[in-house]
Amino acid sequence: MFYNAALKRTTLQPYDMALFWVVTGLLALGLVMVYSSSISIAEARTANHSAQHYLLRHSVSLLIAITAAMALFRLPSAAWQKAAPILFLVSTALLVLVFVPGIGREVKGSWRWISLGPLGNFQPSELMKLATVIYAADYTVRKAALMGSIQKGFLPMFLVMLLITGLLQMEPDLGATLVIVAIAMGILFLGGLNLRLFLFLLVLVVLGVITLVQANPYRLVRMMNFMDPWGDPLGAGYQVTHALMAVGRGGWLGVGLGESVEKLAYLPEAHTDFLIAILGEELGALGIVVVMGLFAWVIWRAISIGWQASLMGRNFQALVAQGVAVWLGAQCFINIGVNLGALPAKGLTLPLMSYGGSGLLVNCLAIALVLRVDYENRLLMRGGRPA
């Protein structure tokens, strides 16, 4: 039934136009909210006090991201599979380069960026998310018959992800670590990893997170403060309490676009990590629910496109599309959860919407992967063949 419904759609469109337009809507709303939430900080921080500083930079990043996504869409999915090991090795090398003096850049005690001079900074952990999707999908397809074996199926991927986790913790970046581990685990599970091995891995991840939190006094303070952010509203609970005040002030329908008070240098990272809080203040709880609904729909479509590919025996493509769904789902869940005070504060942006060139670029590339899988599915249904 699903297959027949998909077949009817292919006679009308070359790819999922609804998905394309929903993603375009999220990108456009993100552009508007980045401008609205960054006006005050742009006027205060930039040399010429330009209110449009972050808007212009975000617009350039968006243009580059869309151009790169269009180029990636033209590549057949078979090319991604061939390039999977190379992309993963390059991404790993970039994670190492952030620690090289003169190349890596330290911000607020974290080494997460590579300086590109006047072009800004690049965050390798964002590229690693994309690389993990493609590499884990390729690995799972190649090792499909060995997914029940600890030594031949589970252990090699586990050791690789342990290396990546180690590099990310040296930065440190727990948020990116959680998303990347979620991607790898999700793809392995969907690819047929033995359930007992998956549950064992899940226990290891939970124990690992607990260990990382306990080993870092700052993280431990954040975790304790999460239980009662109002206990230290001017210290560790500052961001969370101001995010909650922003959402609370917005009520159901918001105070109006551009009318946020919290963005006036009260809520740190208003245009990046806490964009959804400003959106809630200006567009209300209704605005947050709409954004959550749009992301849920994008994630559902990625899962459906992957399922369709699996029905056609295109296992690598299926895992890529569903891996992107896991990625977007995990990152949205963490970011929105932090903004609403449901999760401890983490430095993680909202996909497709928050300010940040690296994140915006890889998010658009991820959507291009999903659209390409859908395009090839429909092409095959019409009797064609991907290039």
Per residue in 318-335, pLDDT (tens digit) is: 999 999 999 999 999 999
pLDDT at 12: 56
Under a CB-based contact definition with an 8 Å cutoff, are residues 285 and 277 in contact? no
CA–centroid distance for 276 within its chain: 15
Contacts of 355 (CB under 8 A, 6+ apart): 34, 38, 54, 57, 58, 271, 272, 275, 349
Number of domains making up the chain: 1
Contact 296, 365 (CB under 8 A): no
d(CA 41, CA 63): 23
Element (H, E) at 110: strand 110-115
Per-residue b/e over 110-139, b at no fewer than 16 CB within 10 Å? ebbbbeeeeeebbbbbbbbbbbbbbbbbbb
Query: So what's the pLDDT on residue 11?
Result: 52
Q: Which residues contact 365 (CB under 8 A, 6 or more apart)?
A: 65, 68, 69, 72, 130
Q: Residue 164, Cβ neighbours under 10 Å: how many?
A: 22
Kindly state whether residue 71 falls inside one of the protein's structural domains: yes
Q: Specify if 324 maps to a domain.
A: yes
Q: What is the pLDDT of residue 79?
A: 95
The tens-digit pLDDT sequence of the chain (387 residues) is: 444 544 444 455 888 999 999 999 999 999 999 999 999 888 877 766 688 889 999 999 999 999 999 999 999 999 999 999 999 999 999 999 999 888 888 777 778 889 887 777 899 999 999 999 999 999 999 988 777 777 777 788 889 999 999 999 888 888 899 999 999 999 999 988 878 888 888 888 888 888 877 777 777 767 767 777 777 777 777 888 999 999 999 999 999 999 999 999 889 889 999 999 999 999 999 999 999 999 999 999 999 999 999 999 999 999 999 999 999 999 999 999 999 988 887 778 999 999 989 999 999 999 999 999 999 999 988 877 776
pLDDT score at 3: 46
Q: Is 141 part of any domain?
A: yes
Residue 32 belongs to a domain: yes
* 8 A C-beta contact, residue 31 and residue 56: no
Query: Taking the CB of residue 22, how many other CB atoms lie within 10 A of it?
Result: 18
Polymer length of the chain = 387
Instruction: Answer yes or no: is 117 within a domain.
Output: yes
Nearest to 353 by CA among 251, 280, 273: 273
pLDDT at residue 9 in the model: 46
Range of the domain at 293: 2-381
Distance (Å) of CA 22 to CA 18, 219, 295: 6, 36, 9
SS3 40: helix
Give alpha helix (H) positions in 152-234: 155-170, 174-190, 195-215, 217-227
Cα within 13 Å of Cα(233), Cβ side: 7
In a domain, 387, yes or no: no
Inside any domain, residue 386: no
Residue 25 lies in a domain: yes
Q: How far apart are CA 294 and CA 322, in angstroms?
A: 17
Query: Could you give the CA distance from residue 335 to residue 5 in angstroms, rounded to a whole number?
Result: 34
